[in-house]
A and B are shown apart, each in its own frame.
Chain A
Amino acid sequence: MKASYIWLKEFVDFNLLPEELSHTLTMAGLEVEAIEEVEEDTIFDIGITPNRPDCLSIRGIAREISAVLEIPSKDISAGVEKEEGEGPVVEIENSGLCPRYSSRIITGVKSGPSPEWLSKRLESCGIRATSNIVDITNYVLLELGQPMHAFDLDKLSGKKIVVRQAGAVNKFRTLDDEERDLSKETLLIWDAEKPVAIAGVMGGRNTEVSESTLNILLESAYFNPSSVRRTSRSLNLSTESSYRFERGVDIEAVTLALDRAAQMIAEIAGGRVTKITDKYPGPFEPKKISVSFKKICSVIGVDISESFVEKRLRNLGFRVEREGEGIVAIPPAYRNDVERDVDIIEEVARLYGYDNIPSTMPFMQMSSPPEHKRQELVKILKNSMTKSGFSEVINFSFLNPDALEKLNLPSEDRRRNLVYIKNPLRKEESAMRTTLIPSLLNNVSMNLKRGEKMLRFFEVSRVFLSSGQKLPDEITQLAAIYHKDMSVSIWQDKHDGFYNLKGALENLFMELKIKEYSFERDTSSVEPYLHPGKSCSITINSQKAGSLGTLHPGVADAFDIKGNVILLEIHDIEKIQMALPGKTTYVSLPMYPYVERDIAIIVSKDITVEQAKKIIQGIDSDIIESITLFDIYTGKPIPDDKKSLAFSIRYRSAEKTLTDSEVDAVHSRILKRLEAQLKAELRS
């Protein structure tokens, strides 16, 4: 709402400079968002909250200034000086949708440009001046907050007004020459035959006031706020008029505005004004709100005197009466936002000044809040990933449906079952994420384009999977990406990235003391966007919990990424949560020394380290303490289809110091078993 300093001063004689007025308004809840100097005037752009439609006018803002500064405001004493003839016929079919409709006819007007003062004032407040009749209706809208409409009387069939819903009529051409689709419920203004306006939103082309207009019918009404809002929303048409009606205009000031406009038209455009027709089937019923002084002080938290409460509410136009230990307050018709005691309390607090209320600390019983287990886990996950060198990204929860195509996800994949947004900003953001992978790939692609290297990112966020219920399942996932760049660092990193990412996860498991996990090559469960030979599923407590692997080169191309990319996904961090060990138990330190023996074997290339390790673990002996892989070697003199694996095995007994012969016995059993089961040869 734009308000002129000079115009406001006509209503209330404050003694404040524009900056001071701006501060006063802001601190009273009418936030001045911008101040603009215009010739001799200053224009304030005020953000009026939806609960205060009474301040969508100069008169309303002036009333507020008067209440805050405790100085009187001058009111409009509008009246029509001379009335001739009967007012128009008005019929209201549904008083719930139109509790009040007032009207006058003005005959013999002379249409033309407005006087300069008038058009200037309109334009300074952001409304374009057109011609005197329309300008005056707009002037009254700004001044009193009451939307008005002028019909060309000679185009009104039967010279009468009917307020009725659209029913079977489903098209209507508005003033702006747009054909509008109407719903059955749309409230319209009709003449004897046809619709002539969409009530409270915009007039019709068919009865528009023009330069040749001689006689007009002036409307000032109160339409049901929800009805106007529904209409305005469904037409996607918001006007100065609908904006005020949907918030609620002052039903008691409807005729004041009509008279004000009629008199101004008579003065500026000439013409004779008829008597008023004022149909008011749903009269205003004042609300009586009781509130005790005790409650006022208790909610605000400061002692406020009874006289202060009474006086300041009266300043705001409330009727106030004493009632026991409190008051009964009756808000004026224009304060439709004041409905119950807390609303009264807010008015008191506002005029007392929020800044004058002390700051205190609440008293509250101590209690033991539930543990934040999940948030704690998320925190640990994030910190652990950063320790392993990964930086956290936070991406939009949106998904471009095309990305699933690029990931090669089959049509039956659950992640294809998207939750769509009805009104997305862009097609690329039209669904909710069912996987974090496309976002991470885009992060890497974007950073590579900017010349960044050593990209290691992770994200812990929710994905949204259709559940068949109203709300989707929201599942928190962990995903990480490692981009191996080809540049060489001085500390050579031999791995291609797979083991870096695997190591990050193993380190996380170590931190959480989770031991029951494994990495399994199982071609059937590998993700379609991973390299089939360089990927695996992650199992926690024998349940599939995620996947790890090199990005499929085809998918890398689709996302415009060069270089080696490794991806890690934990499909639901709940799986980690469930695997957390209950408590840590101390195991006594060994009493006797260990003996360490190495064993290097040559096996076929497709034998995994895990296979060999499992065989060693399977030896029936209680002196094998640990098995550590320390070398994998291929190349001369090992045959091409073979590799060498070297383990260091630590032996220890809980009962005594081991002798060489005891260790030798187990060690040679290990070798025999490896030879038998893996066709391994001892590497000499």
Chain B
Amino acid sequence: MIQRLLITSSKWSKKGMLNDIESIKNLARDEISNARCLQDIYDLKVKYLGKKGLLTGKLKSLGSIPREERPAFGRILNESKNFIESLLRKQEDIFKSSELDKSLRTEQIDVTVPGCFIPTGHLHPITQVLDEISGIFISLGFTVEEGPEVELDYYNFEALNFPKDHPARDMQDTFFISDDVVLRTHTSSVQVRVMEKSSPPLRVIAPGKVYRCDADVSHIPMFHQLEGFMVDRHIHFSDLKGVLELFIHRVFGRDTSLRFRPSFFPFTEPSAEIDISCVICNGSGCNVCGGTGWIEILGAGMINPRVYEKAGYDPELYTGFAFGLGIERVAMLKYGIDDIRLFPENDKRFLEQF
């Protein structure tokens, strides 16, 4: 049939030309739709549109038709070329995408092989709890202060109204460096240091390491405390309750109840100990709270005027509160850790849980 087309086209006639073009288009359409693979498409492209292609041949013969017919035929031939090209492209796309699909199907990876990364390290749980607690107070406008860990007896005791030869000193087993230098037994030692260099209003927290000469199943000789204090002209005991309540609710949740009990610290008057409802048993009684449903968590009180006197503040003008809490204790309750000695041990399996 192709032979015949070629023969009929050898002599110009308008009708013959139109028939030829139509036949080429039909033939191309049939052949393209019968193509089996990408290569067939490439072959057909050459056959119709290549240098010696059927349609190309017609285009070449444009010169031999009468001048006045040329524009019309030119247009027809171009449309036919576009028509065949678009059929070819369409079919080519179909074959290409199916071939890609086929080859992708053979390229499999095992997605269950572990990923490749530097495993992240872990912050010590004490750091995490300290950061969380500091963050709460910083958001309330407190500033962070530090003081020396090897501290003068004066700042650790004397200025906080623990006179020498006073039984109140028995409350804290002290490591001594010399007669008047100790390892600070509490971060309260920062109080008078701060008061000496700044004047009210004060909102300060002092986190850090403290030392007690005591080691058994529930005591370690170095642990962490956070001291907080606030001094201004009209600070009330009720404000202490408000601030600590807010803090406890942020750390342990709004459902936690607080209980304020009278107590004694030489540097606060009135003094209080604060219990929270046991976070383990919700107050029904367990071995963590000793069956009482309450857990002691904070010591606090209104700053004793004697401390202001040491710092050179007018005790008639200023009032304020101070509180201190043990970070290990908070961490133990928060994470359900039952042995305080795990903190300084630094077992990798322990550290990696936080």
Contact = CB atoms under 8 A, between A and B. Distances in A.
A binds B: yes
Contacts of A359: 238, 241-242, 245
B150 to A, nearest CB: 6
A661 interface: no
A28 B272 CA distance: 10
Interface string A365-396: 11101101011000100110111111111111
A528 interface: no
A345 B270 contact: yes
A391 B121 contact: yes
Interface string B160-179: 00000111101100011110
Interface string A335-375: 00000101101100110001101111111111101101011
Given A28-B262, A51-B168, A421-B183, A391 B242 contact: no
Interface string B311-327: 00000000100000000
Given A51-B264, A464-B150, A471-B148, A421 B177 contact: yes
Which interface residue of A362, A363, A471 has the most chain B CB atoms within 10 A? A362
Interface in B130-180: 131, 134, 138, 141-144, 146, 148-152, 165-168, 170-171, 175-178, 180
Which interface residue of A50, A474, A490 has the most chain B CB atoms within 10 A? A50
A456 interface: yes
A432 B150 contact: yes
Contacts of A340: 305
Interface stretch (A296-304, A627-635, A667-675): A296-304
Interface stretch (B48-56, B83-91, B229-237): B229-237
Contacts of B119: 389, 454
B81 interface: no
Given A369-B141, A393-B351, A423 B236 contact: no
A343 B347 CA distance: 48
A618 B86 CA distance: 61
Nearest to B127: A392
B239 interface: yes
Contact of B221 (A49, A392, A429, A443): A429
Given A230-B165, A346-B262, A359-B245, A462 B346 contact: no
Contacts of A454: 119
B241 A342 contact: no
A226 B165 contact: yes
A24 to B, nearest CB: 11
Interface stretch (A82-90, A111-119, A444-452, A638-646): A444-452
A350 B221 contact: no
A365 B201 contact: yes
Given A382-B123, A398-B222, A229 B238 contact: no
B344 A394 contact: yes
A345 B166 CA distance: 23
A349 B237 contact: yes
A180 B135 CA distance: 54
B20 interface: no
A229 B166 contact: yes
Given A369-B141, A423-B213, A382 B232 contact: no
Contact of A421 (B141, B171, B175, B230): B175
Contact of A490 (B114, B127, B235): B114
Interface in A28-78: 28-29, 31, 49-52
A246 interface: yes
Contacts of A360: 236, 238-239, 241-242
Contacts of A1: none
A361 B242 contact: yes
A457 interface: yes
Given A342-B305, A423-B213, A394 B343 contact: yes
A424 interface: yes
A345 B303 CA distance: 13
B203 interface: yes
A168 interface: no
Contacts of A2: none
Contact of A396 (B120, B124, B144, B221): B221
A391 B348 contact: yes
A397 B121 contact: no
B263 interface: yes
B277 interface: no
B152 A393 contact: no
Given A367-B201, A450-B347, A420 B177 contact: yes
A398 B213 CA distance: 12
A29 B242 contact: no
Contact of B264 (A26, A29, A471): A29
B304 interface: yes
B116 interface: yes
B181 A370 contact: no
A358 B201 contact: no
Contacts of B126: 394
B171 A299 contact: no
8 contacts: A50-B264, A51-B264, A229-B166, A246-B167, A300-B270, A386-B122, A425-B215, A462-B149
Given A50-B168, A389-B120, A458-B121, 6 more contacts: A358-B238, A361-B243, A362-B242, A397-B222, A422-B176, A464-B149
Interface of A: 26-29, 31, 49-52, 225-226, 229-230, 233, 246-247, 298-302, 340, 342-343, 345-346, 349-350, 354-355, 357-367, 369-370, 372, 374-375, 379, 382-383, 385-398, 419-425, 429, 432, 443, 446-447, 450, 452, 454-458, 462, 464, 470-472, 474, 490-491
